[in-house]
Amino acid sequence: MLEVDGLRTGYRGRPAVFDASLSVAEGEIVALVGHNGAGKTTTLKSVVGLLPAWQGGVRFREEDISRSRAADNVRRGLCFLPEDDFVFTDLTVEDNLTLARFGVGSQGRASRDADAVRAEIFEVLPVLRERSKQRAGTLSGGERRMLSIGMALAAEPRMLLVDEPSLGLAPVLVERVMDLLAELVRRKGLSVLMVEQNVDQALRIADRCYVMRAGRIVMEESAARLAARDQWWDLF
Ligand code: ATP
């Protein structure tokens, strides 16, 4: 589904990621873990097209997307969920979902297509149905995370790049978000590449894991084998 080969990128001429290579298969959940500042978010941003690759290649579903813009990648089915939950706070949950699917000006308009898309999202995220008429700015942190995931689903992605889905959530909600990601993979056949500080939770749902340190991927391991190791955090 996704192949990243020798990616090098950074900010204002200073590299933050050196020669990163990774892959994600169809229906696979892959975690990218490592210390603060290791280059995990930078890798995701470059893969999705928000930060240009200086060197190396990115292929998505057999297509070279190394120079593609993020908006074009969304149309290809590659969606990025940033850690800061981008939602339109003044709009209702329902209108946020419509906007994410059909663009500016679509909100508030009735259409059979919009209804069908929302119904499908409500099926996997029932909390959004309960809150559909509520303004997004008044949602709790957990509900807002669910809306942000729902908005990504509105684009009917094949693959989600998720940055720290557990950030700022209570432990019980972290589990719920992780279970939801695993369920999306099961039900919709999505692939997931996830950056996560909560390694225990990430390993619970992931198939494989890459460890990143100082801008380099230093290890690849199956999640089960990594979880079984004593003191795996020494690897960081
Ligand atoms: P964290 O877990 O803390 O989010 P990370 O592994 O995702 O860390 P990145 O955010 O990718 O790390 O940062 C990698 C390096 O790039 C760091 O040294 C960081 O200071 C630098 N960096 C990140 N964003 C920018 C930016 N917008 N401008 C300049 N440098 C940046």
Convert the pLDDT of each residue in 131-164 to its tens digit.
999 999 999 888 898 899 888 888 888 999 999 9
Question: Which pTM was predicted?
Answer: 0.89
Q: Is the pLDDT of residue 105 over 60?
A: no
pLDDT for 2 equals 97
Which of 109, 130, 156 finishes a domain? 156
**Residue burial 161-173, b: 16+ Cβ < 10 Å; e: rest:** bbbbbbbebeeeb
* Cα 16 to ligand 1 centre (Å): 7
Q: Find the domain containing 50 and state its range.
A: 1-77+158-236
* Cα 235 to ligand 1 centre (Å): 20
Q: Are residues 181 and 191 in the same domain?
A: yes
Provide mean pLDDT across the span 10-27.
95
Q: Are residues 195 and 92 in the same domain?
A: no
Whose CA is closest to atom 1 on ligand 1? 36
Q: Measure Cα distances from 134 to 3, 86, 90, 127 in Å.
A: 40, 16, 10, 11
Provide mean pLDDT across the span 176-197.
89
Pocket-testing residue among 40, 44, 218, ligand 1, by greatest number of atoms within 8 A of Cβ: 40
Q: Is the pLDDT of residue 107 over 60?
A: no
Average pLDDT in the chain: 88
Ligand 1 atom at shortest distance from the alpha carbon of 34 = 6
For 63-82, write each residue's pLDDT tens digit. Answer: 999 999 988 998 899 999 88
Q: Are residues 143 and 199 in the same domain?
A: no
Q: Are residues 73 and 172 in the same domain?
A: yes
Which of 156, 174, 197 finishes a domain? 156
Q: Is the pLDDT of residue 41 over 90?
A: yes
Residue 11: CB within 6 Å of ligand 1? yes
First CA to last CA across the chain, in angstroms?
27
Burial of 86 (0-12, 13-18, 19+ CB in 10 A): middle
Which of 98, 123, 156 finishes a domain? 156
Pocket-testing residue among 17, 42, 164, ligand 1, by greatest number of atoms within 8 A of Cβ: 42
Provide mean pLDDT across the span 85-103.
87
Q: Are residues 73 and 170 in the same domain?
A: yes
Contact 142, 173 (CB under 8 A): yes
Q: At what angle do helices 171-188 and 141-154 cross, to 10 degrees?
A: 20
